[in-house]
Amino acid sequence: LPEAAPAQAQGEEGWFWKSQAVMICANKLLPSRLPPSCFYKKQVQIIQILQPISKAKRERKRKQRGRERQKELTGYAEEEEERKMVNYMLKITAEVENVKSLQPMGGCDDPNFTFYFKLRCENCGEVTPKETAVSLEEQVPLPKSRGHAHLLQKCKFCGREGNITMTPGSGRPLTDEHCEEGKYAPLMAFDCRGLEPIEFAFMGPQWRVESVGGTAYENVDLSEGEWFEYDEKGSCPVSISKLKSVFDVVKT
C-alpha cells in the first residue's frame, strides 16, 4: 500500500483520503480489488483502502441533497395548498335559568379543556363513528413540515390525511343575555385542512357555571345535555338545558 498520496491526488482540488477498514481473515477469499500479496495465512489484518474524493464532488453531492429535500418540502406545501384551509368557529347556546355565564373551567382558552366532536372527510364524505378529542395542550408535528397541528388524522375509508389547528383568543363565555336573545356565543376557532368538524359533544366534568346570585359551580358535567342545581346563596334554582352547538364557516 502507498505510504503517501499519489501525485495526482495533491492538486488544487483539495483531495483527502477516506479509509475503509477491511478485515482479512485466514482461509477467506480476498476482495477482488486487493492484490494477493495482502493475504497472510492464519492471521487477521486490517487493510486500509484509500479512496481519493474531491471537495468539489462532496459539495456537489451536498447541494444535490439540499435540492431534493427542498423539492420534497415544496411538493408537500403544494399539496397542502390544494387542500384549502377552512376556518370554523364553534358556537354554543342553551336555555338557562338564573345562570349568569357558562364557560370551560379555565376560561375559553383553557389549554386543558378537551373538545369532543366528530369529523367528516372532505375528500369522500365519510364521518367518524365516534367523537375525536382535541385540546390546546396537545400538538403533533406535521409530516414533511416544520409546523404543528392539534390533530392529524387519516380517513379510514379513503386514506386521505387531514389536520386541524385551534386558534385561541376569539372565545367568549355564554351569558344569560345570549340565551335570552337566542344567540350563540363563540367558543373556539378551528383551522381545518381535509377535515370538517361536526356534532360537538358537551362531554366531561370540565365546565364552570356562575349563577346570577354569584355562586360558582366548578367541574360541571353537561354530558346529559342538561344540568340542575339549587343556589342556596341566592335562594333560587339554577339550570341549563337544551344545549346546542354549531360549527360556522368563518371567512378570513
Give the separation between CA 108 and CA 174, rounded to whole angstroms.
Answer: 10
Give the CA count within 13 Å in the CB-facing half-sphere of 95.
4
Per-residue pLDDT band at 71 (split at 50, 70, 90): low
- Output the nine-digit C-alpha cell for 162: 387531514
| Digit-coded pLDDT (tens) for 15-52 | 444 444 444 444 444 454 555 555 444 444 444 444 45
pLDDT value at residue 14: 43
Question: Hey, where are the domains in the chain?
Answer: 7-80, 85-250
| Digit-coded pLDDT (tens) for 178-212 | 999 999 999 999 999 999 999 999 999 999 999 99
Per-residue pLDDT band at 64 (split at 50, 70, 90): confident
In angstroms, how far apart are the furthest CA atoms of the chain?
A: 104
pLDDT value at residue 196: 97
- Output the nine-digit C-alpha cell for 184: 350563540
| Digit-coded pLDDT (tens) for 116-148 | 999 999 999 999 999 999 999 999 999 888 889
pLDDT value at residue 219: 97
Q: What is the pTM of this model?
A: 0.67
Residue 163 contacts residue 148 (beta carbons within 8 Å): no
Per-residue pLDDT band at 53 (split at 50, 70, 90): low
Cβ contacts of 41 within 8 Å, gap of 6 or more: 26, 27
